[in-house]
Amino acid sequence: MTYSADADAMIDALNRTPNWARVRGAIDDETLSSILTEAAKVAESVVAPVDIPADRIGAQFANGKVTVPEAYHAAFDALAEGGWLGLEHPEDFGGMGMPLTLFAAANPLFERAAPAFMMSVGGTRSAALLLAEWAAPEMRDDWVPALIAGERCATICISEPGAGSDVGRIRTRAVPDGDGWKVSGQKIWISFGDHDIRERIGHCLLARTGTEPGTRGLSLFLVERGPGVTCDRIEEKMGLHGSPTCALLFDEAPARLIGTEGRGLAQLFTMIRHMRLTVACQGLGTALKCHDVAAIHAQDRRQGGNPKEPPVPIIEHPDVRRQLIALKSAIDLYRLAMLEAATSADLSAEDEDARRLNAWMLPLIKNFGAELGFDTAGKAIMVLGGAGFTQDYPLEQSLRDSRVFAIYEGTTGMQGQDFFLRQTLGDGGAALEIFLTRARAECANHPAMAAVIEDFAAFMARAMAEPDRTRQAGMADSVLRAGWIAVQAWMATRIAETPEAAFFMAQARAELALQIARAEGPTL
């Protein structure tokens, strides 16, 4: 499939998503097609050409400064000038004012093109969302329009040595300094923490202002690149070579408080939905690219067949067709699930059930988008055989680049804890019931799908009744995976007429049984 074909597939999936009709507002079919067609064109012609060269060149660090591949400058300018950095941001700040769902529909096209480059965009648009929500009017009106216009860039600074996902152990401190603050400490794993795309970079940074242990003493600050801010190094990574992952030192750096002192972590969670959807787009975009490489190769590569006749395209071999339909089945079901989560996010402000369902689905969407990208890259290599292991094809780069998707924004284990312990048990099962109600209604005329949903419901009743909290924590990964199988069965009703749905359903109940057996089996 070409980029334009991917855009058409997304439009088809949107039209199969019931809540899209509630979300789309004034976006008619012509407008939708125009936006996604243009996104496909820009992604293919402007962004994709930077991907492989940037992987070979990488970001460079010298004399305390980071430079990125030269081609990034024109690509970033093109996204900024086209308004793509503000697609989902309010018009009052210079954005397009589109639903978050449209971001989720368009962004996989750009992520397919060059995920390492798109890391420069992710932090900037997330920071714009954060500042629009929590910054004082003067700071908000200064920074948010500039970020959306691409005049400045921004990062999110959370992790430190010894305090990654365990943010309660953050040691970076902020102390009052007249009308402002001074921040001192070290932050690591900061994507595009330093670069030469733009001069002004704002760091949205968590620092400790109180004496209370844990997360209660954390506040959120804006620290601009300048005095007191130094890039110590960039990481040598497995993939995403074109994305500089920086260690930053803050030494009494001037800072401005964002929002309310002591509420930094809660305020930061404003972005969690957007950031997890961004990972979802990365995974889907990578999967789209890798599937297409494998499908094209299978049509072009000739091998096997009757030895008395010319070799045949390998797509004629049944096992190759099996591999390709497995890849496409996973992509088609995931695309629908991601759009379901995105539409529920758009409806969250007015619909409490949508808000609960969105929170319940987000760990699934984040994690299995990440796994989709990595798994598709790995399986596509197997379609190509030895050729796929070489740099003659982009698959080996995609495999390296996508491994991190399941790490940042919370590893798989953390998504399992969130899904089961917080969003299911912590919600008293309310979100689960909303899912079951929706899924049962749509599966009513599809017995195979309905059977999966009922197996999952019975399992969850047992899992929630487990009295041992430690055992429940150990079950979380299997519960997460069981939940994903159930969500895919629900989505399969929306493409029930397709071979992709039939391929998934042929094994769905057995795969669910395996996850249930893992969860209910002996613990370590």
DSSP state for residue 85 in the 8-state scheme = G
For 46, phi then psi, to 5°, come to: -110, -45
First to last CA, the chain: 45
The CA distance from 183 to 171, in Å, is 11
The answer for residues whose C-beta is within 8 angstroms of residue 293's C-beta and 6 or more apart is 380, 384, 393, 394, 395
The answer for residues whose C-beta is within 8 angstroms of residue 229's C-beta and 6 or more apart is 203, 223, 248, 249, 250, 253
Burial of residue 280 (CB within 10 Å: 0-12, 13-18, 19+) is buried
With beta carbons less than 8 A apart as the criterion, state whether 479 and 423 touch: no
Q: Is the dihedral of CA 443, 445, 449, 454 positive or negative?
A: positive
DSSP state for residue 160 in the 8-state scheme = B
Q: How far is CA 278 from the centre of its chain?
A: 3
Q: How far is CA 457 from the centre of its chain?
A: 27
With beta carbons less than 8 A apart as the criterion, state whether 480 and 357 touch: no
Tokens of 343: 């539409």
The CA distance from 483 to 470, in Å, is 20
Tokens of 139: 């700071």
Tokens of 261: 């002192």
3-state DSSP call for residue 189? strand
Give exposure, 193-231, as e/b (b: 16+ Cβ within 10 Å). bbbebbeebbbbbbbbbeeeeebebbbbbbbbbeebbeb
The answer for residues whose C-beta is within 8 angstroms of residue 408's C-beta and 6 or more apart is 189, 279
Tokens of 79: 């996204």
Residue with tokens 């844990």: 214
| Count of all residues that appear for the chain in the document | 524
With beta carbons less than 8 A apart as the criterion, state whether 153 and 123 touch: yes
The CA distance from 513 to 497, in Å, is 25
The CA distance from 400 to 23, in Å, is 36
Q: What string of DSSP letters covers 417-444?
A: HIIIIIIIITTTTHHHHHHHHHHHHHHT
Task: Output the CA torsion 433→419→358→378 (10° steps).
Answer: -120
CB neighbourhood size of 53 (10 A): 14
Q: What is the largest CA-CA distance in the chain?
A: 87
The residues assigned a catalytic role are 409
